[in-house]
A and B are shown apart, each in its own frame.
Chain A
């Protein structure tokens, strides 16, 4: 047992040195480097509208108006809330995640069925026409993080007539906005083609002179 004291002393010394090195020096150095070299990204890639922070380029947002594109389904409502919801405690604080329904879950099936129905009704109400065509999978499934900033170009195409009708912009104008905010695959190979919902909607709001 004499040895044990010696072991403990060495273990403690190494622990403390590594604690300072890995737990303090490293993160602080990286913070300094990040803040100096990439100040925008290091602080959350904030998007400003009229000099006021309106969101982040990389994080999705909840949209309700028909003149805007709607993002994917979020189990945390994109951490978006109204004053009343915060005061009543309905918004419980910042979070992330998914519903975690099993693929065989009846709740999942029910949610999708209801959302499909609701979408078709909304489509008819705003455009005055019956929805014909297929709803792409990403549009009515929940994202993993609940904060997905993107939809697929197919999902944008399906929503386009609603957005055009409700915003008063022509379909070409809206299509242009979508094209401007579509990111291609990296090197044409990696990832997927995707549309940034927040940036599209800011452009739409600008075109409508709402902001």
Chain B
């Protein structure tokens, strides 16, 4: 327990300076590192003819979509041609078309769902030019969209910023330098970083063992920092070469937590009133603090459920003669134990990274329900940038509901919430469950879908739900038992990831654009305050009620039913 509390305390210490730094980058204020990065960025702007003019939300969204489309196209080519290209010491062949489609959508949308196994499916060139590259740019795209959204809500300038400038600044000033340092630390702990082929050694019993190698550390650091989550190897961060020690585990945890957390702080600072902004000692900003607190409550509730459930062990194995004092160890690593496994599991699905340091398919039923639920909520910190935007959807919904109850026009950040915004919010909030539940229904109804299910009974449904929740939330972890490399699964999850990402981003940018265009209304005594404890409680309640109304029946048939059969046979 103590190690979990301390880990979270260190996170709080890290996230505040990072949030301040990110705020300075987003608002183009001076930072200590300008001397190095300004010339670099200016060169890039020059080469690419980037004018750095402000854009309205439509231009911003179009530039984002076009850029992502170009990246998808180039990445797809590399995957299809990897067999004949260079940097392929292990002789990997080209990737099959539907699997390439799935993989490329998966990495562009920051999901990193993997229907291939890295050891046997990708050349080193693909790992670098497709996987590592996409990990940077998908994270940067999410961040860029989020910053445009915040600028729209803050309403301090006439446009939402320049997409290319946002992309370049976050990549050169945060993603690359932090990844480099984290990567070096990971190598120090034992993560390989080499372009040599796999090694074969002879064991002391005279057998042979193959050790899979590669440029692992360079992928590993951006995988977490960009909340990507796709592993170099099939078993992701459970493999010793991806995550060899408890220290590497902590580095990976902090890297995936720090930027989504920092986004909330940036938002808080951007939406502060002008007068207060001059006071540099403010850590959070009122609005940011509310959201950070609500997210933390959701996170901690989930963590407690997951930890207790895993610690309780598996009664069926106790029956079979295996002591369960250590907790449920099937699918977990000894060096992490239950505490760090439960923490990692809750974090990876709350911050929608999708990296795993234990196998989620073998989690106890309720322990496995927590990651599933957090992907269904998709707003407990969430992926880089987009989690914050999703939470604001719930904030607007909460403000709207309260407005109905007290009979006043709802307002948020000094702007009226009207029919147009509510329609867009409803669209974002409905598309997500529609993708998860709709595709799950399709999968359990069709033979091609059922063919992937490998565990019988209630757990089979959990496998399907988890896969689509992970796709739609752009998380990417899986109940890995699912035999998901088939046409059906590749295409349906590909679509879920695509719509889950881009419908939400475009609609959210539209909301920001529409809020930006409105006149500011003055705050009166009748205005609903969105920066106090009552509102935090309302917000948490709205999130849970919304989730219960949409997902409870499905969860009852999956993990909850499995829990009951296991404990009350």
Q: Footprint of B on A, CB under 8 Å? A: 4, 7-15, 17-19, 21-24, 26-27, 29-31, 33-35, 37-38, 41-46, 49, 52-65, 68, 72, 78-83, 86, 93-105, 108-109, 112-113, 116, 134-138, 140-152, 154, 185-186, 189-192, 194, 201-202, 205, 210-211
CA of A54 to CA of B201, assembled, Å: 5
Complex: chain A residue closest to B219, CB-CB: A27
Interface string of B385-415 (1 = CB under 8 A from A): 0000000000000000000000000000000
- Pairwise interchain contact A108-B316, C-beta atoms closer than 8 A: yes
Which chain B residues lie closer than 8 Å to A45 at the CB level? 190, 244
Which chain A residues lie closer than 8 Å to B358 at the CB level? 144
Complex: chain A residue closest to B118, CB-CB: A96
- Pairwise interchain contact B328-A145, C-beta atoms closer than 8 A: no
- Chain B nearest CB: distance from A126 CB in Å? 17
How many residues on the B side are at the interface (Cβ–Cβ under 8 A)? 128
- Pairwise interchain contact B184-A104, C-beta atoms closer than 8 A: no
CA of A17 to CA of B172, assembled, Å: 12
Complex: chain A residue closest to B200, CB-CB: A53
Which chain B residues lie closer than 8 Å to A29 at the CB level? 180
Which of B207, B316, B336 makes the CB contact (< 8 A) with A103? Answer: B316
Complex: chain B residue closest to A153, CB-CB: B334
- Pairwise interchain contact B240-A192, C-beta atoms closer than 8 A: no
- Chain A nearest CB: distance from B455 CB in Å? 4
- Pairwise interchain contact B323-A24, C-beta atoms closer than 8 A: no
- Pairwise interchain contact B327-A137, C-beta atoms closer than 8 A: yes
- Pairwise interchain contact B330-A101, C-beta atoms closer than 8 A: yes
Give 13 pairs: A residue, B residue, CB < 8 Å, sorted on A: A10-B164, A21-B171, A22-B175, A93-B210, A102-B459, A103-B330, A103-B364, A137-B322, A137-B326, A141-B332, A148-B240, A149-B240, A189-B2
CA of A45 to CA of B556, assembled, Å: 46
CA of A187 to CA of B383, assembled, Å: 31
Which chain B residues lie closer than 8 Å to A13 at the CB level? 47-49
Listed from nearest, the 6 A-B pairs whose CB atoms lie closest are A100-B481, A191-B246, A144-B238, A23-B133, A102-B459, A96-B235
Does B529 lie at the interface of the complex (its beta carbon under 8 Å from any beta carbon of A)? Answer: no
CA of A138 to CA of B168, assembled, Å: 47
Which of B119, B193, B365 makes the CB contact (< 8 A) with A94? Answer: B119
- Pairwise interchain contact B241-A26, C-beta atoms closer than 8 A: no
Which of A14, A30, A144 makes the CB contact (< 8 A) with B184? Answer: A30
Most B C-beta atoms less than 10 A away, residue of A30, A52, A135, A194: A30
Which of A41, A56, A116, A154 makes the CB contact (< 8 A) with B211? Answer: A56
CA of A125 to CA of B533, assembled, Å: 66
Q: Considering the complex, which residues of chain B in the window 312-365 have a beta carbon less than 8 Å from any beta carbon of chain A? A: 313-314, 316-317, 319-337, 340, 356-359, 361-365
Complex: chain A residue closest to B231, CB-CB: A96
| Interface contacts beyond A22-B171, A137-B329: sample of 13 additional A-B pairs, CB < 8 Å, sorted by A | A7-B62, A14-B167, A21-B172, A27-B128, A30-B193, A62-B207, A95-B117, A98-B331, A108-B316, A136-B323, A145-B235, A191-B335, A192-B334
- Pairwise interchain contact A18-B137, C-beta atoms closer than 8 A: yes
- Chain B nearest CB: distance from A47 CB in Å? 8
Which of B74, B233, B246, B365 makes the CB contact (< 8 A) with A15? Answer: B74
Which of A34, A49, A59, A144 makes the CB contact (< 8 A) with B331? Answer: A144
Q: A79-B210, A100-B361 are known contacts. Are A30 and B218 too (CB-CB below 8 A)?
A: yes
- Pairwise interchain contact B247-A35, C-beta atoms closer than 8 A: no
Which chain B residues lie closer than 8 Å to A30 at the CB level? 180, 183-184, 187, 193, 215, 217-218
Interface string of B455-494 (1 = CB under 8 A from A): 1111100100000000000000001110000000000000
Which chain A residues lie closer than 8 Å to B359 at the CB level? 97-98, 100, 144
- Pairwise interchain contact A94-B198, C-beta atoms closer than 8 A: yes
* Stretch from B65-73, B440-448, B505-513, B540-548 at the A interface: B65-73
Q: A38-B188, A191-B337, A205-B204 are known contacts. Are A96 and B233 too (CB-CB below 8 A)?
A: yes
Does B98 lie at the interface of the complex (its beta carbon under 8 Å from any beta carbon of A)? Answer: no
- Pairwise interchain contact B321-A112, C-beta atoms closer than 8 A: yes
Total residue contacts A-B, CB cutoff 8 A: 386
Does B24 lie at the interface of the complex (its beta carbon under 8 Å from any beta carbon of A)? Answer: no
Q: A79-B209, A94-B212, A152-B326 are known contacts. Are A101 and B362 too (CB-CB below 8 A)?
A: yes
Does B454 lie at the interface of the complex (its beta carbon under 8 Å from any beta carbon of A)? Answer: yes
Which of B120, B211, B334 makes the CB contact (< 8 A) with A143? Answer: B334
- Pairwise interchain contact A49-B241, C-beta atoms closer than 8 A: no
- Pairwise interchain contact B129-A96, C-beta atoms closer than 8 A: no
Q: Considering the complex, which residues of chain B in the window 196-210 have a beta carbon less than 8 Å from any beta carbon of chain A? A: 196, 198-199, 201-205, 207-210
Q: A46-B201, A80-B207 are known contacts. Are A22 and B132 too (CB-CB below 8 A)?
A: yes
- Chain B nearest CB: distance from A200 CB in Å? 11
- Pairwise interchain contact A64-B333, C-beta atoms closer than 8 A: no
CA of A17 to CA of B168, assembled, Å: 10
Q: A19-B133, A97-B480, A102-B459 are known contacts. Are A31 and B215 too (CB-CB below 8 A)?
A: yes
Which chain B residues lie closer than 8 Å to A113 at the CB level? 320-321
Which chain B residues lie closer than 8 Å to A146 at the CB level? 235
Complex: chain A residue closest to B193, CB-CB: A34
- Chain A nearest CB: distance from B48 CB in Å? 4
- Pairwise interchain contact A26-B132, C-beta atoms closer than 8 A: yes
CA of A205 to CA of B203, assembled, Å: 12
Which of A27, A86, A140, A192 makes the CB contact (< 8 A) with B337? Answer: A192
- Pairwise interchain contact B48-A10, C-beta atoms closer than 8 A: yes
- Pairwise interchain contact A80-B208, C-beta atoms closer than 8 A: yes
Which chain B residues lie closer than 8 Å to A14 at the CB level? 48, 50, 67, 164, 167-168
Does B44 lie at the interface of the complex (its beta carbon under 8 Å from any beta carbon of A)? Answer: yes
- Pairwise interchain contact B209-A61, C-beta atoms closer than 8 A: yes
Which chain B residues lie closer than 8 Å to A145 at the CB level? 233, 235, 238-240, 333
- Chain B nearest CB: distance from A106 CB in Å? 8
- Pairwise interchain contact B70-A15, C-beta atoms closer than 8 A: yes
CA of A21 to CA of B257, assembled, Å: 24
- Chain B nearest CB: distance from A163 CB in Å? 14
Which chain A residues lie closer than 8 Å to B244 at the CB level? 45, 58
Does B23 lie at the interface of the complex (its beta carbon under 8 Å from any beta carbon of A)? Answer: no
